[in-house]
Structure formats: C-alpha cells, structure tokens
Amino acid sequence: MKKIDAHVHIKQNGPEFLDQAKADNFFVIPIIVDHNNVPWYKNFLQSQRQHHPEQFSYVTTFHIDGWDEPGWQEKTLEHIKSEFENGAIGVKVWKNIGMEFRDKDSNFVMIDDPKFDPIFDFIEYQNKTLSGHIGEPRDCWLPLEEMLASSNKRYYSSHPKYHMYKHPEYPSYEDQINSYARMLEKHPNLRYVGCHLASIEWSMKKLAKMLDRFPNMAVDLAARLDDIQIQDTDEVRDFFGKYQNRVLYGTDLEIEEHDNPKDFAKRMHEKWQTDWTYFSTDSAITIKGIDKPVIGLNLPQKILKKIYWENARKWYRCF
C-alpha cells in the first residue's frame, strides 16, 4: 500500500531520509515551523528536489515576529503567496501563537485574533490548507503525577518551561481549544488540519464532538499515538470507524542537522513498521513507556487506505 506520513520535520539536505521513505513506499509531508529558520528549509527544498522531487510535498509557515510593526499583514500575505507559487500545499501555525508570543502590550496573541483573518481568508481563497498545532496535550496543564501519558511525563519533567501547570499566568488548556474553535467559526470554509489530534488527544468522545462541530476540520496523529494507545481499544477502533475520512497518519519524526542520517533512517523505518502493526493487526505490541502490551486495532483495509493515503491527499490536495 502506498502511504503518506503527513507530518515530519526534516533539517538535512542529504538523500537518506527520502531514500528510506521510498524503500518503505512512503510519501512525506515536511512541515516548516515558525522557529525563524527560513534559510535552512530553502536549502532543504532545493536539495530534496534534486534527489526525490516526487516523494514529498511541503507545508510552509510565516513568522509572527514583526506582529506589531505596520505592514506585518501585507508582508505575511506576500510571503505566503510566494510560497504557494513555490509549491507549498498549506500553511502551518504553531503553539507559539497562544503559548509564547506576546504583543507590545504583553498580551498573548491567540489564533482567533482578527489580525489573522485576512491571512486565513487568503489560504482558503487559494484552496490551500491551514494546519494548526495550537495548544498542547491536556497533560501539559496537569501536575506530573496526574498526567495520563508517560511520554508527556518524561517530556514535561525535562522541559519545565513548557509545563503549563507551573505557569498559571499563561492561557489555560480551555483557552487554547476555545481560541481555535472561535477561529474556525469565523472561517467555516477553510480546510483545517488540527495537528496532534487538535490537542484533544485524551478523549475520543471530546474529539468526536469537535469534529462534528467543524466539518471542514481533520486531524493528524503526529506524536499522539501513545496517548490513544492507553485508551480503551474498542472506543478507539470505533472512533477510527466513524471518522475514517478525517484522520491523517503522521509521526512528527524530526531529523536534526546533527543526526546521523543512516541511524535516523533506521529509526524511521522501525517507527513506521510498529505503527503499521498497531493499525493493521491485532497483535500485542510493546510500546516504550506503556506498562502492558498494546493490542492492535486491526482496522479494515478500506480504513487503512484512508488514514494512510487518501485523507492526506484529500485534505492537503497533494500527490
């Protein structure tokens, strides 16, 4: 089966990553994130277009720096326009909106800020997709001992700066979810992919409600598989049945400039294989950080084909 990993971050110019993707019959969507790092990805695109032009499509971003300066909107629109001309299939907004960036009056800028509206209108008008990593897992707002996923416990104990439980002066979990819901209310015809299960990874029921509310929204699974693997298998399987047109497979695999490309390609191959076993069989698999074995979902071929191939093509209009 041809497959798409709809959420990766590649910061290397060598061919190894996409060589491996090709060997595994994977197409990939590298996503550029607003870290003020435009130069490396320009190089990356150039080099990868020489190696494997057919194996990837990319999602671009824009910088929030300069928000308070006059002309920020025009500049941003121009940048996005030229990125679409360059082949970008969508635009990513990241958690720095809502969780990090503050305007000149020291207020957090949220994703439903009216200043974003012309930008989102433009994306819609161009028939492109907005992908949003807004907020974090709900665990981020809980004390370590109450977190559901051990991967979150590990991450936030080593990144206290991002552990929102320790920063009550920051917007709450509900503030984050409500902000993108209000944004979607204003843009009902905008295609939106909520990355990381739209930060509602902890409850399939709540996520279902959000998807029911916004028919132009889909979600990707990037870096949140272990959040759903600890939930009731039948409930998760039902979710995939009911929302089979709305979920995109994605990993969030990140390949840094200093990573050994051969080692990374191996890790990537293994991750893709383990995930495939989880979705396509009912085998018991061992997942790092989860005490008991996880039982695979054994999804029918028709649904597998959607979450691994058709949905990314449909929601991002690519490949």
Shortest distance, CB of residue 216 to Zn ion, whole angstroms? 21
Q: Which stretch binds Zn ion (CB under 5 A): 78-86, 100-108, 247-255, 302-310?
A: 247-255
Shortest distance, CB of residue 81 to Zn ion, whole angstroms? 24
Q: Shortest CA distance to 19 belongs to which of 47, 59, 57, 51?
A: 51
Which residues, 6 or more positions from 220, have their beta carbon under 8 angstroms from its beta carbon? 6, 7, 131, 193, 194, 195, 196, 197, 247, 248, 249, 250
Which listed residue (224, 252, 278, 306) binds Zn ion by CB under 5 A? 252
Q: Shortest CA distance to 161 belongs to which of 174, 170, 172?
A: 170
With 0-12 CB in 10 A as exposed, 13-18 as middle and 19+ as buried, what is 61? buried
Residue corresponding to tokens 């971050």: 9
Nearer to Zn ion, 299 or 307 (CB): 307
Shortest distance, CB of residue 223 to Zn ion, whole angstroms? 7
Shortest distance, CB of residue 228 to Zn ion, whole angstroms? 17
Count of residues that interact with Zn ion, criterion CB under 5 A: 1
Where are the alpha helices (H) located in 159-224, listed in sequence order? 173-186, 195-198, 204-213
Which residue has the closest beta carbon to Zn ion? 252
Q: Return the H-helix or E-strand segment holding 132.
A: strand 129-132
Nearer to Zn ion, 20 or 131 (CB): 131
Q: Which stretch binds Zn ion (CB under 5 A): 66-74, 186-194, 244-252, 310-318?
A: 244-252
Shortest distance, CB of residue 74 to Zn ion, whole angstroms? 28
Asked if residue 201 binds Zn ion (CB under 5 A), the reply is: no
Residue type, 60: T
Q: Which stretch binds Zn ion (CB under 5 A): 119-127, 146-154, 249-257, 297-305?
A: 249-257
The whole-angstrom separation of Cα 313 and Cα 160 is 37
Residue ranges in contact with Zn ion by CB under 5 A? 252
